[in-house]
């Protein structure tokens, strides 16, 4: 009699297993009906576990495992169907019509100073220059003395400096030449670097000048470096940056280079704007350059009899104003969205 009960229960469990596995619906009401039918307090499993008490003890293990498997299968089926319905309803309520075209993604814009700085770095990297960076808060040695500007040197007045009040030896760097000094102290020639960064001058703010601006300075030191190498490097840069193939170097003075020169490019006189920005000459200054003074090499423990080099520097804002015809340097720092959005399409 008990063996017949075992066979009868095994047959029932197998049939219920088959029904559970085949059950599919997208109706939450039918899923709840299914749950009550199998897992409710008066459901199929409750009845089967009641009958299970009368099964012969040595056969209970097999039937018990089958009942547990049926209960787990029914529970998983309920959870699976509920998840599929809730997931699709959440997506539908959140996105409504999934076939509708998406809202265009608003692209951010790069700042024109970043655009120009990256272009300068890219141009010089093609001819072997690597980027070197340093601190914006400097000491007197790296910003002045090592660059052939000893204390009380009159040329220090050329760069109105922000000094830190508590320590007169600490200041905000007035040029990125301080980065070059640090690099020369810690590296042996050949050296070929550019130093982009923010610099500070205690100047009145106007349409053409600012107390905070950006520079990119270059340095090349090796054996037999000549002024001709400097000129060819600058000519390459102006061709790549401005598509101008005509430059001139006017004699000038910088304490850390000898000889020194101002770099001019021939901008032309095709438009009224050209006449205005070049003051009718067609020539436009973009930076300064020169051969590294032997005293600077000595100050950084580089043999000035064996090595020579050249250095150059240019203002990033100055170049950006030329490229994009921006009339006022203050526009770079006002964070006017109308101004910045004009550079969205520029990489």
Residue 159 — pLDDT band, cuts 50, 70, 90?
low
CATH no., domain 112-343: 3.30.930.10
Torsion over CA of 176, 315, 261 and 151, rounded to 10 degrees? Answer: -40
From 97-106, 119-128, 209-218, the region with the lowest mean pLDDT: 97-106
Overall average pLDDT of the 140-154 stretch: 84
pLDDT of 294 reads: 95
Read off the pTM: 0.67
- Give pLDDT tens digits for 208-243: 888 899 999 999 999 999 999 999 999 999 999 988
From 23-27, 151-155, 316-320, 334-338, the region with the lowest mean pLDDT: 151-155
Structure letter (DSSP) for residue 31: H
pLDDT of 155 reads: 61
For the chain, give the percent of residues with pLDDT over 90: 42
pLDDT of 131 reads: 96
Higher pLDDT pick, 315 / 152: 315
φ, ψ for residue 21 (rounded to 5)?
Answer: -65, -35
pLDDT of 307 reads: 96
SS3 56: coil
Higher pLDDT pick, 81 / 315: 315
φ, ψ for residue 327 (rounded to 5)?
Answer: -80, -20
CA distances (Å), origin 143, targets 5, 150, 217, 220: 98, 10, 14, 19
Closest to 195 (Cα-Cα) out of 230, 171, 219, 225:
219
Domain positions in the chain are 2-95, 112-343
Residue 2 — pLDDT band, cuts 50, 70, 90?
low
Q: Return the top range by mean pLDDT from 15-24, 152-161, 322-331.
A: 322-331
Q: Helices marked H in 96-145 — which ranges? A: 112-125, 140-143
pLDDT of 345 reads: 54
Overall average pLDDT of the 253-277 stretch: 88
CA distances (Å), origin 96, targets 17, 194, 249: 38, 54, 66
CA distances (Å), origin 219, targets 46, 96, 191: 87, 60, 7
pLDDT of 93 reads: 53
pLDDT of 296 reads: 95
pLDDT of residue 166 exceeding 80: no
Give the β-pairing of 130-131 and 191-200: parallel
Could you give the CA distance from residue 266 to residue 231 in angstroms, rounded to a whole number?
15
Q: Helices marked H in 43-95 — which ranges? A: 44-52, 60-95
CB of 230 closer than 8 Å to CB of 257: no
CA distances (Å), origin 306, targets 177, 298, 312: 22, 11, 21
SS3 198: strand
């Amino acid at each position: 009699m008990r063996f017949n009960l075992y066979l009868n229960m095994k047959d029932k469990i197998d049939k219920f297993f088959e029904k559970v596995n085949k059950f599919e619906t997208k109706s939450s009401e039918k899923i709840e009906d299914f749950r009550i039918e199998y897992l409710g307090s008066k459901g199929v499993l409750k009845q089967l576990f009641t009958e299970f008490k009368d099964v012969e003890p040595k056969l209970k293990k097999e039937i018990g495992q089958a009942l547990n498997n049926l209960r787990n299968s029914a529970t998983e089926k309920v959870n699976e169907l509920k998840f599929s319905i809730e997931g699709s309803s959440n997506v539908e309520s959140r996105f409504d019509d999934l076939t509708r075209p998406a809202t265009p993604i608003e692209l951010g814009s790069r700042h024109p100073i970043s655009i120009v700085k990256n272009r300068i770095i890219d141009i010089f990297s093609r001819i072997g220059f690597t980027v070197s960076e340093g601190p914006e808060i400097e000491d007197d040695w790296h910003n002045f003395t090592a660059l052939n500007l000893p204390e009380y040197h009159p040329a220090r007045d050329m760069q109105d400096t922000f000094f830190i009040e508590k320590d007169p030896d600490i200041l905000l760097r007035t040029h990125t030449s301080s980065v070059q000094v640090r690099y020369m102290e810690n590296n042996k020639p050949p050296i070929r670097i550019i130093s982009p960064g923010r610099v500070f001058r205690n100047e009145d703010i106007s349409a053409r000048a600012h107390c905070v601006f950006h520079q990119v300075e270059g340095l090349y030191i090796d054996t037999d470096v000549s002024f001709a190498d400097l000129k060819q490097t600058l000519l390459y840069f102006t061709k790549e940056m401005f598509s101008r193939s005509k430059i001139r170097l006017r004699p000038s003075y910088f304490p850390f280079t000898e000889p020194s020169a101002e770099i001019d490019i021939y901008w032309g006189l095709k438009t009224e704007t050209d006449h205005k920005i070049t003051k009718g000459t067609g020539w436009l200054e973009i930076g300064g350059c020169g051969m590294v003074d032997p005293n600077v090499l000595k100050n950084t423990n580089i043999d000035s009899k064996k090595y020579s080099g050249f250095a150059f520097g240019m203002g990033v804002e100055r170049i950006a104003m030329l490229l994009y015809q921006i009339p006022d340097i203050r526009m770079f720092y006002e964070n006017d969205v109308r101004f910045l959005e004009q550079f969205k399409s520029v990489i």
